[in-house]
Structure 1
Amino acid sequence: MRRGGWLAASFCLLWLLAVLWPSGVKGEKETEETKRLAVVTADRVNVRQGPGVPYHPVASVHRGDVYRLVDVKDGWLKIEWEKNRTGWLAARYVALAKETAVVQEDRLRLRQEPSRDGRIIGHLAQGETVLVIGEEGGWKQVVTEDAIGWAAASYLAPAEARSISQQTGTVAADSLNVRAEPSLHAPRIGRLVRGEEVDIVEKKPGWYKIASSTGLGGWVSSAYVQVKGGQANEKEAEVPQSAGRSLPSIIAPSDSRLYADSWTSGPVQALAGKTIVLDPGHGGKDGGAKSVAGVKEKELTLGTARLLKNKLQSYGARVVLTRSSDEYVPLSARVAAARLYQADAFISLHYDSAADPDASGITIYYYDRFADYELAQSFQGLFRQLSALPFRGIAFGDYYVLRENEKPSVLLELGYLSNRSDAAVVATNGYQEAVTTAIVNAMRHYFQ
């Protein structure tokens, strides 16, 4: 999929356009904000000091990351990968963004080719923002953090383009939370005060990604930032947590944000550099449990793992999935992944089933009292705080992926598909956001 002929041809065409595109010329559909944006199309790409393999790597970027394009030379693209810092990427791993789009249909099929006969390689969620890098007929080629593929253009609506301009703003609220992601459910990583000036480095509907003079960077509600020609909402901003509580900011350097902690004396890097293997249970011929409404465990676990992967990566972790699509992976191969990648932690994700239709809640399983139990304990306090489902506790589990695992490992049962109420809850976006945030915070506590 990622190295197919159709994709190679697209890269070549887009690279030639970048070379031949006259400065200041605007295409029919490209906007001023998107036409000079470079989109990473491979899982992991080195940013190098110069345009060539002999040059030393200075950073790594990942699929779906977007950067301002500065220059093109001999099959290499120069990008601004941090504010006022540039580097070079191999052009074959980069495409030029034509526009941003918002998905209008839930579970929109993503196909390998621009045709209804094309193999389905994934699904897009309603409201998801994607980068468009190509068009053919009634199809648009898009890049997400997990895949590159074609989606029906009729289900994609134009979105506000990601802005890499150096626009500035002023905080228009007494206290404004800074979050790790553009979501009210994302962890708070700091706060700004009224009158503080910030650089706006990216925009999403309702949110600005900002960088402050103190080094604090993250996402804030755009309603409380006054920009030139804009109006800030003067009502009271979201109240931050008490300054007496420690809320360490653990942001990945590759995300162009600095390590900063407003309420502790020094930087905290609990997840930075840690390798976490996520194991979405079941897959392929092994569907796992199934709810009365037809929700399959194998689909839920993969969706949870993808969301969790994105959140862990935003805190600097190296995340490996034992499967990234609907495929059957033997239990031995799942365990082997933990050994191969020298995992600091292994988390197997599941949704439970029982003969008793009233069985409900979340359970944490461990095998080795010495190697696994401390990791299991890291989850219990946060799972108890989840109001959507009851917490059933920590239990011994003689499961292959735990028993044969040399690395600290747990198996999480995140709700019962055999329970009508649980099944309805776990399939919601709200629950998925809440439970993955709890898992991320548990891992932060475990590694601190």
Structure 2
Amino acid sequence: MRRGTWLALLFCLLWLAAAAWPVGAKGESGKTAQLAVVTADRVNIRQGPGVPYRPLANVHRGEAYRLMKVKDGWANIEWKPNRTGWIAARYVALAKEMAVVQENRLRLRQEPSRDGRIIGHLAWGETVWVIKEDGEWTEVIADGTIGWVSSAYLTAARESSISHQTGIVTASSLNVRAEPSLKAARVGRLVLGDEVEIVETNPGWYKIAARTGLDGWVASAYVQVKSGQANEKKAEAPQSADRSLLSAFGQSGSRRYVDSWTRGPVQVLAGKTIVLDAGHGGKDGGTQSVGGAMEKTLTMETAGRLKEKLEAYGARVVLTREGDAYVSLPERVDIARLHRADAFISLHYDSVADRQVSGVTVYYYDRFADYGLAQSFEDPLSRLAALPFRGVAFGDYYVLRENDRPSVLLELGYLSNRSDAATVATDDYQEAVTTAIADAVRHYFE
């Protein structure tokens, strides 16, 4: 074959290889401002572009990282400041910008057509990643779910402004922070029904000014914009609203991560019944911390917060006890059986003689009925920063052994450990651990 023919063939092969990559990605030596958004539950970051390379860490659905380059079906991402690694390209979608939804209950469709199947809904003010456009439609990512929405109801995040909007706090207690980050200092607190002025937005956050003079940043998921202030377009407004789903993104260095609860696209727990068993109660106080905190009080607080989060996913949640009431172990199991629970979660705080023991443990009894549910907690709880995760273990507990529903028992910290006891009593820990548990339940049923 002549040299010219070889060159022509080589050119065609290179052109086809370039066309195979997602639009906007660059070659091995090129840099790009695009973000790689993870679309699988848990994916390894590897030292090099291939399975034989050593795993460095895991990334998770909905997280987004700066894309450095692509090579041989692998994407190189900056997963920590000044640290890069490789992830299989099939587990990411590329996005160049974020957009803000300008219509409440906006339909998310499987195809770019009004006849496309509805796979969820988005809320006004929610931020999404933009992948590409097709005529009057835009393909977006919301919490790892990819779908199409009408382009008319999106505004580029960099252009969005909702100054002079009024919002109402929808949480019983809402922290106000100095910066739009869960790690920022807390400067105050708002309560259910407080009215605020929204003066600035950041993905997943509102900067607010309260009538009391308090100002700062709050999670946008817990502030409902007053009706009549949003864009009143109707073409793609669905007829009914879905509940919340974890889907807002915050930013920390080069990594963007899921960090707040907001109204989201899919009710993944719709039709599911979850029984939450707040351990102890009444005459049975459980264990007691060195500072005097009672286990029965902590488990009830955890159950209350967790109930709200699971209901936001569409679940029907049943509590085995209301308030400081004594409920026997057989009664707790009977409640799960009576309501035909799809999952039974017993909440506890541990205590042992060795006061150095620390962390969170998940227990199961039946290898076939319970183990799958127990495993779903491994990843979310291992990412808790406050306490170490001790793993999934067999536990011969009555509420597991006598239960014919998928069941787990969670020990969420050691009250015998002075540091654990102080940690588990904080609002930050209660929010973080209930978010992790809800995330685990969601992934179990997805």
Q: TM-score with structure 2 length normalisation?
A: 0.48
Q: Which has the higher strand share?
A: 2
Return the index of the structure with the highest Cα Rg. Answer: 2
Q: TM-score with structure 1 length normalisation?
A: 0.47
